[in-house]
Chain A
Amino acid sequence: MQRDKFFKEIENLNHPNEKLIKTHCSYCGMQCGMNLRVNTQTNKIIGVEPRYDWPVTVGKMCPKGVTAYQQTNHKDRLLKPLIRDDASLKGTAEGFREASWDEAYDLIAKKFKELQTEYGKDSLSVFSGVSMTNEKCYLTGKFARVALGTRYIDYNGRFCMSSAAGGFLRSFGVDRGSTLPWTDIHETDCLFIAGSNTAECHPTSMFRIWNVQERGGYIIVVDPRETPIARRADLHLDLQPGTDLALANGIVNQLIEMGYIDEEFINKHTNGFEETKELVKDFTPEYTSMLTGVAPEKIIRAAEIYGKAPNAVVMFARGVEQQHKGVDNVSAYTNMALVTGKIGRPKAGVATFTGQGNGQGGREHGQKSDLLPGYRKITNPKHVEEVCSVWGITPEEMPQPGVSAYEMIELMEQKTIRGLYLLCSNPAVSAPNLNFVRKAFKALDFMVCSDFYLSESAEFADVILPAVTWSEDEGTVTNIEGRIIKINKAQEPVGESKPDWQIQVELAERLGRGKYFSHLKTARDVADEFRLATKGGYADYYGATWDKIDKQDGVFWPCKDEKDEGTPHMFLDKKFYHPDGKAKICALPYRPPAEEPCEKYPLRLTTGRVVYHYLSGNQTRRIPFLHDMCPEPYVEIHPETASTYNMEHEERVRLFTRRGEAVYKVKITEAIRKDTVFVPYHFGHEDSINLLTIAALDPISRMPEFKACAAQLEKVELKKVQ
């Protein structure tokens, strides 16, 4: 239990005829603790009460969390399975009729079997997400491999966390998003935060972050925009989107030049220093400034502050990861910690701000095209054998590795993949290059979508299955820190909706694969099999029982057995997870963004989030308070740029790239670079900025470059709405 100075003993307010169910928020990786208020007469969720005794967030929530409970009994909930017989209506919300579960299952089983008979096992695919419990993520991987027998499974973490995973695996040999618990953050002396709009995307980190400054420590922020956190930072490095790698190399060079490196640590615990030193030599402050647009003095000053700080944490998020060199960016910023030895002890380390609620856990247990539970590799015969023994199949039956999320969509367009089972994701809004993606979904012979609302992606489905929200099921989630926590059930499922694990068990039975699934009758059954399947993998959850999670306020993985209390701090013994126990300092040559501005497309377009919405907005756009606060997207433009285009605040303008276009309201602000425009991505149909973004993929993580492409603005005839 990490109870710190922010923790206060406070009793909750108990209203008459109500009970409080302890749980966590449904949305981001912070996984703020909350109590759901349940009316004991109707047994319905009716509100929220802070969870003051959750040690990470001590009752705090952002507006998404405060209103999250409104999802459960929302009027838009899907109450019954829906079938659409007229395929010509794909891409619209029209033509669906209500059906029984039996009819829906029968149709799915028939279509899936037909497709696999005619086009082979791999003609089916599973596209999933990580805003759901570990148990569901685990079972989805098993469902694809054992029930469907297809190699094609991947998930929306490819648009979220996969670059962080790739970078950490290369640098440390292990991918745990944070090397230290969040309760350390306010005690460090310097936070170096790159590509994270923390105040909007992980707001409940902010009371700890501000406290660093109150103690006399420093905050350095790297962002093309002056976000709320950049505004108050001691140093704001306002780089051009897509140039992080150059900046990181430049800072590492300065750390070496100014003598802030820890030679003993480098010699004993790392490889690759000499090579890296050689490579970063070219990244003088002037050269780095030329590439990034950041003033040379600021680069020097950043290295000086970070170098001098007794303890420091390097943090980053999608801003650096959603690039076609996202993995290199992650390793390059991680180099800062490795050359200075500011890692492997409390109050110092490296962390990524996990985007989705279970972005960490969901990527470890087999939803990724090449992974199996416990972070095992599907290409490693020993790993395959271990998992097969839990699943009861032979290694020969285990499908080959598949391809990444966006590449699966390409295979749909090419008709290699003909069937899709989509759950917990809304790629018709969140994938890049949406004109192509929407075309690919239309090309499918058969598509099933499981969701609790009719999302933009569900509009492409033949069958929609009503899933439950997070509050109608139980299971574990692994938060931003790598802490496994428990989500509790507060209400019975609305209408005929079912949890996805149950849907998969029942569907497996229809597909004649019941013997591998029928024993899973409750979420706890899935949890027990899941823990066993992770045993011995490096993301070992075996010892993280629900009881222990409850008793200890969560359990940090790895947690190998009953006695193991888990691992809040990584690498305290300075042992990294590469075979020789050393971390890797990576020499990474700079590459510019895949698409650089040119005469026709002179602006840099970058995308991101606002505090009021989560991911594709399928959930938050339906919540009245959140909708009122941010009802539509906009394009942020610097006033000088706006004046060269003769554009006014709130005027509607056309923004376009080589791939697509959309019309947005102008939001004038000096808090952005003059060469950059920004649009939030939470909106659907013709409002989606992803109609414009580029699908340039990182070679390792296969992450698309959402954060930088070339764009142009144009006035539209329609004058400002009077």
Chain B
Amino acid sequence: MKKRLYLELENCIGCRSCLAACTQCGGHEERNRNYVYDVNPLVNRQTMPLMCLHCENPACARSCPAQAIQIHETGAVLSALVEKCIGCQNCTIACPYGIPKFDHEQNLMYKCDLCIDRTKDGIPPMCASVCPSNTLQWLTDEEIENKKKQFNLDNGKWVTSMPYLEGETNVKVNLPGILQGITKLF
């Protein structure tokens, strides 16, 4: 069954275990490829991960003049191919979320490949495997649909992320606020 990365930003505790785990995926040369932001560091402890969303029509790949950014059959938008990447950094500018990172020494872009060695066989990526708070989860479409139902408010106050994102993405996101629609037990 196809599974996707799903982000529930409200849950993040800022432990950066996702980043530590990213370095542990065999194919990542021990470099982490995503980000965790302190939302308002002088005020509170809110944090959120900023992960590649693996866009269905990825701006990074579209912007690449050398076709170095391939899309895997699972939908994962891969890291630049060493032999093709010309180091122009177009992708780092084109991505609406600033995801691709650049290695100046190697003159090479590198980005999240959704732990393709794992996810091609249905094994969850390292970040979603370890995330202690369930901010990052590896779910079926059905499970994601249930999440949507659970967290959607029909009063128009609460929406999942769609209107805020640029186009369809393989990774699904719930912005902070998931608890607004919960009915308390007592």
Contact = CB atoms under 8 A, between A and B. Distances in A.
A60 B24 CA distance: 14
B133 A206 contact: yes
A215 interface: yes
A10 B15 contact: no
A295 B184 CA distance: 23
Contact of B118 (A13, A200, A639): A13
A180 interface: no
Interface in A1-28: 10-13, 15
B183 A204 contact: no
B44 A67 contact: no
A669 B124 contact: no
Interface string A512-547: 000000000000000000000000000000000000
Interface stretch (A223-231, A356-364, A713-721): A223-231
Nearest to B17: A63
Interface in B74-107: none
B172 interface: no
B14 A228 contact: yes
Interface string B6-22: 00001101111101110
B13 A228 contact: yes
Contacts of B186: 189, 308-310
B42 A50 contact: no
B65 interface: no
A48 interface: yes
Candidate in A207, A218, A308 with the most chain B CB atoms within 10 angstroms: A207
Interface in B154-186: 178-179, 182-186
A669 B41 contact: yes
Contacts of B20: 63, 66-67, 625
A232 B14 contact: no
A446 to B, nearest CB: 41
Nearest to B36: A629
Main secondary structure of the interface of B (DSSP, over half): loop
Contacts of B134: 206-207, 210-211
Given A13-B117, A213-B179, A310-B186, A60 B131 contact: yes
Contacts of B126: 50
A404 to B, nearest CB: 33
Given A63-B20, A669-B43, A670-B43, A199 B185 contact: no
Given A62-B17, A310-B186, A226 B131 contact: no
A629 B16 contact: yes
Contacts of B21: 61, 66
Nearest to B178: A214
Contacts of B182: 213-214, 216
Contacts, number: 128
Contacts of A50: 126, 129-130
A340 to B, nearest CB: 14
Contact of A671 (B43, B129, B183): B43
A628 to B, nearest CB: 10
Contact of B42 (A11, A67, A226, A669): A669
Interface string A605-636: 00000011000000000000100010000000
Given A10-B123, A203-B15, A232-B10, A59 B42 contact: no
A52 B45 CA distance: 29
Interface in A38-89: 47-48, 50, 52, 59-63, 65-67
Contacts of B150: 214
Nearest to A30: B132
A248 interface: no
B124 A10 contact: yes
B43 A66 contact: no
B15 A47 contact: no
A199 B121 CA distance: 31
B152 interface: no
A61 B132 contact: yes
A649 interface: yes
Contact of A63 (B19, B42, B133, B185): B19
A603 interface: no
Interface string B112-137: 00000110010110100111111000
B42 A639 contact: yes
A204 B10 CA distance: 16
A52 B42 contact: no
A203 B179 contact: no
Contacts of A366: none
Contacts of A227: 45
A215 B126 CA distance: 27
Contacts of B130: 50, 59-62, 65-66
A97 to B, nearest CB: 35
Interface in A101-151: none
A227 B121 CA distance: 38
A217 B123 CA distance: 32
A420 interface: no
Interface string B27-46: 00000000000000111111
A380 B134 CA distance: 48
Nearest to A214: B182
B133 A207 contact: yes
Given A669-B41, A670-B43, A63 B129 contact: no
B24 A66 contact: yes
Contact of A668 (B11, B42, B133): B42
A215 B185 contact: yes
B33 to A, nearest CB: 14
Nearest to A210: B11
Candidate in B126, B130, B150, B186 with the most chain A CB atoms within 10 angstroms: B130
Given A67-B20, A203-B133, A189 B185 contact: yes
Contacts of A228: 13-14, 45, 47
A398 to B, nearest CB: 44
B170 to A, nearest CB: 20
A669 to B, nearest CB: 6
A469 B25 CA distance: 24
A229 B15 CA distance: 12
A61 to B, nearest CB: 5
A47 B24 contact: yes
28 contacts: A13-B118, A13-B123, A50-B126, A59-B129, A60-B131, A61-B130, A62-B17, A199-B13, A199-B14, A199-B133, A200-B13, A203-B15, A204-B132, A205-B132, A206-B134, A207-B11, A210-B11, A213-B182, A214-B179, A214-B182, A215-B185, A228-B47, A309-B186, A310-B186, A668-B42, A669-B45, A670-B43, A671-B45
Given A50-B126, A61-B130, A63-B17, 19 more contacts: A11-B123, A12-B123, A48-B24, A52-B129, A62-B130, A67-B20, A199-B14, A199-B133, A203-B133, A206-B13, A206-B133, A210-B11, A213-B179, A217-B184, A218-B184, A229-B13, A308-B186, A611-B14, A629-B16
